[in-house]
Amino acid sequence: MPLKPSTVAGPLNGVTVIDLTRVLAGPYCTMVLADLGARVIKVEHPDTGDDSRHIGPFIKGKSAYFMSINRNKESIALDLKAAPDRALFERLLAQADVLIENYRGGTMEKLGYGFEALAPRYPRLIYAAASGFGHSGPYMKRAAYDMVVQGMGGVMSLTGHPGGPPTRVGTSVGDITAGLFTAIGIASALFERQHSGQGRKVDVGMLDCQVAILENAIARFTATGEIPGPLGARHPSITPFEAYETADGWIIIAAGNDSLFRSLGRALGRPDLPADPRFDSNPNRTQNHDALKVEMEKSLKTAGTEHWLGILEAAGVPAARINNVAQVLSDPHVLSRNMVCHADDPDVGRVTMAGNPIKLSGFADPESRHPAPALDEHRQRLLDELHAVESSA
């Protein structure tokens, strides 16, 4: 633990991460690591810093996007092409457990900082790369963005309504999924290093992660030969498991087995439905989903969503409202789980953000976070700490 540990208590206390990543995939990964107690030091280019500092919306000139993803992190501005900054970067690497970058494959090699160059000098360093296409393969040198990998990786072909225009997933799952897989790789490499003593390269490509999350769709295609397409808000093989119209909106009902379907029939006042041979098993219900939807909506449209939510909850049938973001952030369960947190930014004031969903016994789950750093904010602190550590070595 050569540099001081993070002041956020968590299982990754004592781990220092040097973070070259920008925008979302990498910063999301390091946000999760920081929330788990790793010390994350962003190394940003002096001219612009992390590109997401310039992505709106802005509050008093600061990017809300940047502030939410980069809470709990520190910043130092370094130009990795300039000799004095390179020397400082290398002093930081000597004290680090993890280096993470999200450049296109080959970029770090050109800087002299690829894994092959660093591993002999820093044998315990875990080198994580979260790039668009990974560090091998024909597309290695391409830039990638979330929607590009959502398109190439198949999820857009499964999202939307049959015959409808392309639909992306409304949050950046291309970036975020890669961030999560990278965090798994880093934590696993940290675990392994404790008995092997060796660092490793963790090479994660956003497109690879999109393939990994197709799960079910790959199974369906390879089993049947049919190419799966979008299904609106309907599950491909479990019925009813869909969004249905009520008198005043929509309700999701997931009655995934025969027992739940009987409960649903009773709750809707429609005992005819489970008795109907078209609907008496999951495969039959799936085959006749259109007819079932018509029948269910005849009943559901006689009252509003809240009415049916009460009835279905009492009957033990999983059902839900489709919440917008405002409703999510005021849901009593979400609040009780401490999933709405904040940071107090010195210029902007209180910034609201999502909490950490990995709840661990024995560690606090704070509602507040350290605010995201100003560009180069921690230069002096880091220089002082490096000096102290190097003098005592």
Cβ-based neighbours of 224, under 8 Å, separated by 6 or more: none
- Per rule CB under 8 A, is residue 36 in the interface with a second copy? yes
Binding mask 322-341 for a second copy (x = CB under 8 A): xxxxxxxx-xxxx-xx-xx-
Which residue from 190, 300, 343, 372 is in contact with a second copy, where contact means CB under 8 A? 190
- Per rule CB under 8 A, is residue 125 in the interface with a second copy? no
- Name residues contacting a second copy, limited to 72-101 (CB under 8 A): none
Which residue from 26, 105, 114, 153 is in contact with a second copy, where contact means CB under 8 A? 153
- Per rule CB under 8 A, is residue 170 in the interface with a second copy? yes
Residues 149, 154, 160, 165, CA torsion sign: positive
- Name residues contacting a second copy, limited to 6-25 (CB under 8 A): 10-14, 24
DSSP 204-252: EEHHHHHHHTTTHHHHHHHHH-PPP---TTB-SSSSSEEEEE-SSSEEE
Inter-axis angle of helices 83-94 and 379-392, to 10 degrees? 60
Q: Are 151 and 121 in contact (CB under 8 A)?
A: no
Q: How many CB atoms lie within 10 A of CB 323?
A: 12
Nearer to a second copy, 271 or 283 (CB): 283
> Is 370 annotated in the active site?
no
- Per rule CB under 8 A, is residue 166 in the interface with a second copy? yes
Binding mask 234-273 for a second copy (x = CB under 8 A): xx-xx--xxx------x-x-x-xx----------------
Number of residues located near a second copy, criterion CB under 8 A: 155
Q: Which of 45, 54, 135, 235 is flagged as catalytic?
A: 235
Nearer to a second copy, 161 or 387 (CB): 161
Instruction: State the nearest-atom distance from the C-beta of 262 to a second copy, in Å.
Output: 16
Coil/strand/helix, residue 127: strand
Cβ-based neighbours of 277, under 8 Å, separated by 6 or more: 284
Candidate segments 70-78, 293-301, 346-354, 370-378, binder of a second copy by CB under 8 A: 346-354
Q: Are 264 and 312 in contact (CB under 8 A)?
A: yes
Q: Are 274 and 262 in contact (CB under 8 A)?
A: yes
Catalytic residues: 235
